Structure 1
Amino acid sequence: MGLFSEKGDARARAERAGIDVIGALAVGHMVDGGASVYLLVFPDRLELVSTGQMGFRTGAGRSVIALGDVSGAAVRDGLFRGILLIAVGGNTVEFSTGKAAAGHLCRVIEERLAAGPVENPLLRNLAELHAAGLLTDAEYEAKRAGLL
């Protein structure tokens, strides 16, 4: 694994760890306190997935950040690593990875932010069923909440 090979390696590493990366536009990897952490960039959201401490499942979990909540992304260069800074609701999420990977992840996030919100076809179909009278208000709200 070379210094600039991390862009493609992160996706393969995530798949080996059993993380579903289908539909992800970009995948990043970092190690934080002995735990592997992956950043998955989807068209409508960012997901931070931790596999937990080495040899344990302590700290394993998934956090989802809606792309609409992200106000920007930038890269800060470290000596050997790049640090991706993601601005979310007045806070900053830092993701330390290889310099090339940090730049790539930042570009993908910025492109998604510039493209605007992604329309979910399932939500559109659900709204059409509700408008046609095939779903009650309660059914519509319950299904919509499940999709969001």
Structure 2
Amino acid sequence: MSLNTGIAAEDRKVIAEGLSKVLADSYTLYLKTHNYHWNVTGPGFPQLHRLFEEQYTALAAAVDEVAERIRILGFPAPGSYKAFAALASIEEAEGVPSAREMVEQLAADNEAVARSARAVFPAAESATDEATVDLLTQRMAAHEKAAWMLRATAA
């Protein structure tokens, strides 16, 4: 069956490619946040353990929304570590950093996901893809807030 929702095929492709980067960054951030949830130690442990859990839980839902939007646009969503590694701008953590380093890295990584989402925005907007614009707006707001919460924790 052909797809005709009023968004040109080439526009859908460009948007899906951008969303694939958002998905890769989001999934990498999900894994990193979950890892830090498991491995955080120190005086702020209870608060950071809860904060990281709240954030990775929200990311789990977000990656599904982004992947589904890619599928709605008619393209396959990346779903392997190899694909994510090729697309992501966020680096995986090596070893177990200090609690402060975890917070700083996650704040920077949330800002990176916000930038990835913002980069797709012009293509979605010019294609009058309001559904993607709405999704991107929600993702940018969520990541900017998460980064703010983490920065405030590190202050």
Asked whether the two chains share a fold, i.e. TM above 0.5, the reply is no
| TM-score, scaled relative to structure 2 | 0.28
Structure number having the greater strand percentage = 1
Report which of the two structures shows the higher radius of gyration computed on alpha carbons: 1
More RCO (CA 8 Å, sep 6+): 2
| TM-score, scaled relative to structure 1 | 0.29
